[in-house]
Structure 1
Amino acid sequence: MNAIFSSAKHSRLIYVLFLVFVFLIGGLVYLSWSFVAQNTIKFLSPVNPSELKPQIRNMSDNSSRFNQNQIVGQVLMTTLEGTQLSASEAAWLRDGVVGGILLLGRNIENKDQLKALTTQIMLEASSSGVQPFIAVDQEGGSVARIDWIEKTAQVDITSTDQAYQVALKRGQALKDLGITMNLAPVLECSSDQESYIASQGRSFSNHCLEKAMAMVKGYRVAGIIPVVKHFPDGLAWTTTDPHKSLPIIDQDQNQLLSNLQPYRQLIKANIPALMVTHLNYPLLDSRPASASYFFLTSLLAENFSFTGLIIVDDLSMKAVADNYEVGEYALNSLNAGADFLIASSPNDFEKISKTLFTAWQQKQITKSDFDRKLLHITAVKQSLNEH
């Protein structure tokens, strides 16, 4: 009888321990699921033109109320000469022939001046019915155009929570100033501290993907469009500054794809925009990545299934200017799969505009090509109206 009692008591003990085990496992699964659910980035899903707001949908449909100069202008971003709009700059905006304004240090003096400038930009643009991006490079650290707002360097960000909070605070400040797009964060993750990007403290020191995801989320919650950069990661593997000359990256396809895994993962999170910079991979293509069908279409759009906005880095950099005619390079970039081009030199902006207009007339680029690019551009602009 004692043996039976002991056996029954032992069975109950096992049963109780089993229930405790199940409870603990269930709790861990729940906590894990909750963390993932709260930290998963769900920003932009594919946009149907019929779902766009009327004033934006008309542009993506190439309505008859928009002329060719306006349509060409929507794929271009340029800069301003000073702290106020000049007569010609105001005319660009009123005529709707520019898709975005990139603010540089020379455009920024103080909070009141900057807020007045962004207000003036949007006021002038309102007459054309075309909403321009107002962008800035506010990565933090050595690349911070606005001194008085949050500017922690990426290398000094030690956790994903800090990354989120930095981006949220910075994004809120940018939005208050009338800025809608930040050319950040930097995704390159280099073990080579002598590389161009790491030597300036512009990259995270570890957990680059997770911290970049957190910053993207922070910016989006603040109502700012983040532009992840610099695809295809080559600035982590060279000491050459593309502002001064064209970097050469001697990597084969296997090496490239291995280095691009963080980009692939971030793209799965539906990031709104990605910047492609000027890097030459001679083992893969004779053209630099920013004008390469292999990089922009075969790899980024098709292999990585990126449906967001493909932005080409500043075409006024010497990586382009010293090796190519800027207008032709811009045309090649668009035909290779880019959606949106930056030209920090107003002279380059004018050259590119003329080249693209002529190319359209000569059918070197078609109306349907612009339609596809405008759909990507307007989808991102639509998201601004949701915040």
Structure 2
Amino acid sequence: MFKRIFIIFIVLCTMLLGCSKKQIKTIVEEDKPSPPPIVDPIYEDIKKLTLDEKIGQLFIVSMDGEEVNESTIRLIKDNKIGGIILFQKNIKDSKQLVTLVNSLKETNKDNPISLFLSIDEEGGRVTRMPKEIKKLPSSKLVGKTGKEEIGYDLGVALGEELRDFGINMNFAPVMDINNNPNNKVIGDRAFGDNPQTVGSLGRSVMKGLQNADIIPVLKHFPGHGDTAVDSHVDLPLINKTMESLESFEIIPFKEGIEEGADMVMMGHILLPLLDKENPATLSSIIIKDLLREKLQFNGVVITDDISMKAISNKYGVGESGLKALKAGSDIVLSCYSSDKQFELIKYVKDAVSSGLLSEEEIDKKVYRIIKLKKKYNISDEVVKQVNVNVINEKVSSVIERIGR
């Protein structure tokens, strides 16, 4: 009897002790402060922006002349545009280019987000830099070396050259494969006629540009190589299946994305076996389903120039821009005249007011844009005069290794 009473006593004590420990644990947990909520600084920045400031980030536009004019001032100060693209028509010499870049930065100084200052500097026949700067060889010549280290060094030299002038974005490298002899628009702008060469050299140039603090832009997705029509003139058509694209055209882009691509430019190409109605620039199937979901690209997507006839022959100024944004592009590149650029921006603003484009959609695009600008420390800090001799020495060193 005594043993049974003793066992009951022990069991009761154990239960009471267990309850006490559980109660103590609960009290401690209740007194423990909750962890602070995770704050995303980019979202905090977006909250501070007006709707007009957010919409402005969705555009990179061209300008007329060799100095900032009234239209450019209005685009920057009133419309809060995200960036400028410079062409040969804007560039006279090194001194003038530095002055122009600094003027653009000065014009933007009161805006909350600094400008993308972009250019097409591929080497070979696609060059915009001042004439006193030595020209880099074409991508075709770089591809013929077959050496990734040369591609990387080329990217670094090119990037440092652009950075010295205050430019922060380059619409290169070209990731198109030049596999159509009738293709007049790509040709020697491509690194080669096979995906292996284009992929290895393209991603090497990309890494070189990145390490020189220049944003590279892979173009023209999903591949402009197998076309016989110049998209500046009309809309090229490629009759290829998804399987065919994946086994060829898309390979260089896929390799670039896996290596950390920041930005991709869409090509004005119709692929009716993927999307019967819309060219790639305006196709959610190609941007969202293929580029975003299948290839897992989370960076910034930009259109090719929306004023090119491949698009403008069929769509109005504003309509094309809105369709591109709705399809998944983050930025519309517009090289229209300034009056049409104002028309384009107004059209998008009206679409937001009427609910055709939601502020939530805009916020997602602006998030990616600001994230990229922060990554590369884009600022409106003015640049000093450049040393042309130093730039040319670096370029000459790369040219010697590539050969002619």
Shorter-chain TM-score range: 0.7 to 0.9
> Does the residue aligned with 1:134 lie in a helix, a strand or coil?
strand
Q: State whether structure 2 residue 105 is matched by structure 1 residue 122.
A: yes
Contact in 2 for aligned 1:290/1:333 (Cα 8 Å): yes
Q: Could you say which residue in structure 1 is the equivalent of 2:342?
A: 350
Q: Report how many aligned residue pairs link the two structures.
A: 331
> Does the residue aligned with 1:143 lie in a helix, a strand or coil?
coil
Q: State whether structure 2 residue 261 is matched by structure 1 residue 244.
A: no
Q: CA deviation at 1:123?
A: 1.1
Q: CA deviation at 1:262?
A: 2.1
Q: For 2:364 and 2:73, how far apart are their aligned partners in 1?
A: 28
Amino acid in structure 2 at the alignment position of 1:307: N
Distance 1:150 1:142, change over 3 A: closer
Amino acid in structure 1 at the alignment position of 2:138: A
Q: CA deviation at 1:326?
A: 2.3
Q: Could you say which residue in structure 1 is the equivalent of 2:82?
A: 99
Contact in 1 for aligned 2:123/2:138 (Cα 8 Å): yes
2:359 pairs with one of 367, 371, 374: 367
Pair member with larger Rg? 2
Q: Could you say which residue in structure 2 is the equivalent of 1:154?
A: 139
Q: Which runs of 5+ in 2 are unaligned?
A: 1-37, 380-404
Structure 1 residue ranges, 4+ long, deviating more than 6 angstroms after superposition: none
> Does the residue aligned with 1:382 lie in a helix, a strand or coil?
helix
Q: For 2:89 and 2:186, how far apart are their aligned partners in 1?
A: 26
Q: For 2:173 and 2:163, how far apart are their aligned partners in 1?
A: 16
Contact in 2 for aligned 1:168/1:221 (Cα 8 Å): yes
Amino acid in structure 1 at the alignment position of 2:137: T
Q: CA deviation at 1:255?
A: 1.2
Q: Could you say which residue in structure 2 is the equivalent of 1:25?
A: none
Q: Could you say which residue in structure 2 is the equivalent of 1:382?
A: 374
1:268 pairs with one of 233, 258, 261: 258
Q: Could you say which residue in structure 2 is the equivalent of 1:113?
A: 96
Once the two structures are superposed, residues 205-251 of structure 1 have per-residue CA deviations (whole angstroms, 9 ceiling, x without a partner) of: 26111111110111011110000111010x21111100000101111
Q: Could you say which residue in structure 2 is the equivalent of 1:13?
A: none
Q: Could you say which residue in structure 1 is the equivalent of 2:219?
A: 229
For 1:1-387, what aligned pairs fall within 5 Å after superposition? 50-52=40-42, 58-59=44-45, 61-63=46-48, 66-95=49-78, 97-146=80-129, 147=131, 148-157=133-142, 158=145, 159-199=147-187, 201-205=188-192, 207-233=197-223, 235-259=224-248, 260-285=250-275, 286-345=277-336, 346-385=338-377
Amino acid in structure 2 at the alignment position of 1:296: I
Once the two structures are superposed, residues 173-222 of structure 1 have per-residue CA deviations (whole angstroms, 9 ceiling, x without a partner) of: 101101000000001122333323443x1001261111111101110111
Distance 1:282 1:306, change over 3 A: same
TM-score, normalisation: structure 2:
0.78
Distance 1:150 1:218, change over 3 A: farther
Q: CA deviation at 1:323?
A: 1.1
Q: For 1:182 and 1:339, how far apart are their aligned partners in 2?
A: 17
Comparing 349-358 and 254-263, the one that deviates more: 254-263
Q: For 2:341 and 2:91, how far apart are their aligned partners in 1?
A: 21
TM-score, normalisation: structure 1:
0.82
Q: CA deviation at 1:96?
A: 5.4
Distance 1:322 1:386, change over 3 A: closer
Once the two structures are superposed, residues 5-43 of structure 1 have per-residue CA deviations (whole angstroms, 9 ceiling, x without a partner) of: xxxxxxxxxxxxxxxxxxxxxxxxxxxxxxxxxxxxxxx
Amino acid in structure 2 at the alignment position of 1:192: N
Comparing 248-257 and 223-232, the one that deviates more: 248-257
Q: CA deviation at 1:58?
A: 5.0
Contact in 2 for aligned 1:70/1:95 (Cα 8 Å): no
Amino acid in structure 1 at the alignment position of 2:368: H
Q: Which runs of 5+ in 1 are unaligned?
A: 1-47
Distance 1:83 1:386, change over 3 A: closer
Q: For 2:66 and 2:186, how far apart are their aligned partners in 1?
A: 32
